Amino acid sequence: MKLIIAVVQDKDSARLSDALVKADFRATKLASTGGFLKAGNTTFLIGIEDDKVADLMAIIKKNCESREQLVAPISPMGGNADSYVPYPVEVQVGGATVFTLPVDQFEQF
Ligand code: 2BA
C-alpha cells in the first residue's frame, strides 16, 4: 500500500475530489498554505493499493492545471530590505505536487 500526498491549487480541489469519489478512491482533504506564496492550497491524503497508483496519478494529472500566479511585492517592514522586490513577479504554480510514501501498516478500527 502507498500513501499519496498531493498538494493542489484550491481552484482544482473540488474537481479532483469529485473525480476521486467517482473512481472509488478514498481521500482526506486538508486545508494547507504554500510556504512561498503564503496562499491557500489543498493537500489530499490518499491511501491506495500499489497496483492502483498509476490510475490515481492519471486522475490527478487530468484534474489539476498548471497556472501562472502573480506574487505581490512584500513590504520590507520587519524583513530584509535587500531582498525586497518592488514589482509583482509571475511564478508558474504546478498542477499538483505529489509525494508517494510506502505504508507499513493500515488499520481501521
Ligand atoms: P508555494 O510554496 O506557495 O509555491 C508556489 C509556487 O511558487 C511553486 O509552485 C513554485 O513555482 C514557486 N516557488 C516556490 N518556492 C520558490 C522559491 N524558493 N523560489 C522561487 N519560486 C518558488 P509549485 O512548485 O508547483 O508548488 C506548489 C505548492 O506545492 C507550493 O506552494 C507548496 O505548497 C507545495 N510544494 C511544492 N514543493 C514542495 C516540497 N518540496 N515540499 C512540500 N511542499 C511543496
Q: What is the pLDDT of residues 49-105, one digit of tens each?
A: 999 999 999 999 999 999 998 887 766 565 566 666 678 889 999 899 999 999 999
Neighbours of 15 (CB within 10 A): 14
| 5 or 70, which is more confident | 5
Residue nearest atom 38 in ligand 1 by C-alpha distance:
97
Query: Quick check: CB of 7 below 6 Å from ligand 1?
Result: yes
- Rounded to two decimals, the pTM is 0.88
Query: Quick check: CB of 93 below 6 Å from ligand 1?
Result: yes
Per-residue pLDDT, averaged over 10-19, amounts to 97
Domain boundaries, the chain: 2-74+85-102
Residue 40 clears pLDDT 90, i.e. is over it? yes
Residue nearest atom 22 in ligand 1 by C-alpha distance:
36
**pLDDT on residue 44:** 98
**pLDDT on residue 80:** 61
Angle, CA 8 vertex, CA 56 and CA 51 arms, to 5°: 15
Neighbours of 91 (CB within 10 A): 12
Residue nearest atom 36 in ligand 1 by C-alpha distance:
97
Does domain 2-74+85-102 match CATH 1.10.10.10?
no
